[in-house]
Structure 1
């Protein structure tokens, strides 16, 4: 069976029983990159990785939440420093596009979020780790600027949404994007994949985030990636086995994982 890697999932938000069932149901699931929301989330992902070597943890602070206090950030960075050899990447980090859209006061502290992200960018470079980014629409160009400023080589824009100019910038910088199951029913995502190099693509679920179309009402599962790859193969006009292998190798290469 064609092997898959879920390049971005919040596995810590699933129950232990659900996680066990994932790997029983999906023997094609070779690995998952489980990203973190905060320190508590990091600790849960670390624990999960000790239970199963297929679970690879990334540590960070998700931007779609209130800014951490100075003490919270210091504690998180200290913990990440201690466990830097266990994490495959810094993530999920980025900018709060959706949280900012909901702000009705007009005084959103965007600059503080940019400074927080830059802190993670600096640490990712110092630790020699890839960085996993939540950066969509207008925020993506700001993030590209930070990555360029610090000469970051390995950047993963998960579930990217944005304009063609920024997409080209991401591709030209050698950064990667990952595609969720919404490619099955979203024309915008299909068009984006058509324009983006296959060699810089990965696939993900962002579970437990729910999907629509044929996945309506179904608990998000890494096996949904098979449907994504089928569409990617059609868009790229390539045999499915070739696309499976290319995406699998892309992810191993990006995260410096053994073949």
Structure 2
């Protein structure tokens, strides 16, 4: 089992230590949110053998300086054979919701720079693209010939879902699937073969996870829920979801003693 999307560098050092010492799954895909995050995620991947790094820039923030963006690109150039993906990248849906006057064009330009690198190095891209933004991002993926796309914690309409399925884009399911009907409906409509599981930690969850630190082990409950909604056994769901993740991310760092 793999947590396909976590912000490991956003946890405190003590939390990281506790988490890794109590890990009951194979590994984590640790995404980055800015230059400092890329640097920290790279260090964590060297510290822990089952952490797979991805470099990117999270769109729900003020635009990066050109220097910061160039330095992230330099890291991708230098480590493209060691990282498993480019991400987290995307468009600022929630930021624009707070400020409808926000100009999205500069964010599109930043995203396209990362797509160019994903295409150049044949790397998967991890996307923050929900609702209205997802259709535009699908257009950009086609434009830049990026085929391995992972829409993490995806939310969107049926038209977009159909397009993503046709293009064989991956999604990942979070622990809110235990109590959010929108995510449960997505699980039912999306092919299991195009699905992974994630926590997006340290983002907190409600329901049975209320008040708990978001831990990668929570994906076990996510897998159980997917099995229930897909009307298959837990073993079938676990094997398919794990296989999907290994096939999508070709160079995962894992601890095989947990398998």
The answer as to 2:96 corresponding to 1:100 is yes
Q: CA deviation at 1:16?
A: 2.5
**RMSD over equivalenced CA pairs, Å:** 1.2
| Match of residue 187 from structure 1 | 181
**Distance in 1 between residues matched to 2:190 and 2:235, nearest whole Å:** 19
> Which of 13, 17, 38 does residue 16 from structure 1 map onto?
13
Q: Which runs of 4+ in 1 moved over 6 A?
A: none
Report which structure shows greater RCO (CA 8 Å, sep ≥6): 2
> Which of 146, 149, 153 does residue 140 from structure 2 map onto?
146
**Distance in 2 between residues matched to 1:135 and 1:72, nearest whole Å:** 22
Cα distance change of structure 1 residues 74 and 94 upon mapping to structure 2, 3 Å threshold: same
> Which of 191, 196, 202 does residue 197 from structure 1 map onto?
191
| Match of residue 225 from structure 1 | 219
Q: Please state whether the residue corresponding to 1:68 is helix, strand or coil.
A: coil
Q: CA deviation at 1:228?
A: 0.8
Q: CA deviation at 1:26?
A: 2.6
Q: CA deviation at 1:37?
A: 0.5
Q: CA deviation at 1:91?
A: 0.1
- Give unmatched runs, 5+ long, in structure 2: none
- What whole-Å deviation, never above 9, does each CA across 1:234-253 have from its counterpart, x for those lacking one? 11110101100100000000
**Distance in 2 between residues matched to 1:190 and 1:132, nearest whole Å:** 22
Q: CA deviation at 1:74?
A: 1.4
> Which of 124, 127, 130 does residue 136 from structure 1 map onto?
130
**Distance in 1 between residues matched to 2:22 and 2:76, nearest whole Å:** 32
The answer as to 2:161 corresponding to 1:167 is yes
**Distance in 2 between residues matched to 1:234 and 1:71, nearest whole Å:** 48
The answer as to 2:50 corresponding to 1:54 is yes
**Distance in 1 between residues matched to 2:34 and 2:161, nearest whole Å:** 28
**Distance in 2 between residues matched to 1:257 and 1:122, nearest whole Å:** 20
> Which of 35, 41, 45 does residue 41 from structure 2 map onto?
45
Q: TM-score, normalised by structure 2?
A: 0.95
Bigger Cα displacement from structure 2, 58-67 vs 78-87: 78-87
